[in-house]
Chains A and B, each alone.
Chain A
Amino acid sequence: MNEAHPRRGQRRLAFFGRIGADISHEMRNVLSVIGEYAGLLDDLLVLAETGRPLDHARLKTLTKNLAAQVKKGTETTERFNRFSHTAEEQTASFDLIAVVEDVAALVQRHVRLEGHRLEVELPNREIRVTNNAFDLQYAVFAAVGILLKCLEKDEPVAVKVDAEGSTAALSISGRAAAGDEPGGRTSRLVAVMNELGGTVNTSWNDGTLSLVLAVPTD
């Protein structure tokens, strides 16, 4: 089963919009924190002018924190830039690990707001894939979304990637409430994975629900 063309365009646009909105929120938070640190530095300098001694250790911590926020913002914009470029090409050769790392970081806020956290475990090597990177990222996002609806309270979402032979497997799993299975919620994900020449396998083992996305490697 493949996705109808207009619906595919709509789905891709919605995904891009969702990630874009999350990143803009994230960046606004980073800028707000930088603003508060700058404001606090200014407050301390104004107080120093009135005779209050400057705490040099505090100043060092503040400048270190400022630098950390700038680094966080830079990394976020770089990830979003790479993600945006994947929407330009239908098919390209890419490192699956790098792409999964990026999309996991981009959906982190979404997962956190749902009261969970992502635990990402990636091998320390390249896995080359020639495919549609944007749709593959959508598949990861969709699988995480399906799992979030089934997870028990506070349980993490585990994301793992492995490759064997000519197939790479992305496993998205977590401890789910008994009887709470994704059922019909996977139909769109199955359609997208079909278009990517891959599969989705849903399994339930000892309280852990897993969605395994398999795609061919180069």
Chain B
Amino acid sequence: MSAEPIKFYQVGSFAVGNRLLDITERSAQSDPSRPNSINSGHRACQGCGEALGARYALDAAMRATAGDMVAVNATGCLEVFSTPYPETSWQIPWLHSLFGNAPAVATGVAAAMKVKGRETRVVGQAGDGGTVDIGMGALSGMFERNDDVLFICYDNEAYMNTGVQRSGATPPAARTATTQAVGDHPGNVFGQGKDLPRIAMAHEIPYVATATVANLRDLEAKVEKAMQMRGARYIHVLVPCPLGWGSASKDTILLARLAMESGLFPVFEAEYGEVTSVLPVRRRVPVTEYLRLQKRYAHLFHPEPDASTLERLQAMADRNFRRYDIQEVDV
């Protein structure tokens, strides 16, 4: 577990009672003088997981680098909702070039900083389409060269910016605009999809981690840890998308937590290709608890429950529990 094992005082929910903590133990986000790397007024949807994830990740990176940082962004929701010209939500130096080249652009910025003898660090960011599909060649190249870039993927499991089409990160059975809930096997097919954290680990880069917006303290800690390291680093953050998932805006954090607690999205860290820590779950839940809240899986429950598909999805979750040895710990 990357975050300090602090016993939090609960306030009737799973939220962290930050104000009861010593100031040195508080999150970057609780700091009234936090940088607000992406500030309010942007045009993300209500309940957007990506806006939340980016805010926490970048503010944590800013804290870790004492504000000496540049962000590079792929095309996608995050880019579109944050910079409707002439406005911008970015309070940090920020560059957007194309959809598929953010890792290479980040390499270029890092090379420029190095050649100029500056300590300025670089964070690249993209959605799952920009990371696992169209940007994968550039990302793999950046990993392989071990360029000094932290790349963050905000994974909402489809191309949400263009209207919810399937990506290489879309899970099996999920309905998208290009994997419609029709025919004998409604939704996305089984057996496809890229597990980018594991692909990143295969490059044996210094640091790979996954996180969700359900555990923002963990996300912050992982970003801060990554920024203490040099070379290619990768963090894959699950960010629920109310629009694309057909979920209630209020359920974004709940869904992220259920994704983890069901085992469908294991949260772990790896260094140089080996898993070094796995976040335990407070209580293990069946996948149906997670799936039921999302309209993209409605065809698994209506008109009749699709028992065999649900079983296959449960088997995937169970395999993650085994593969990562995810513990149940009631903290």
Question: Is A bound to B?
Answer: no
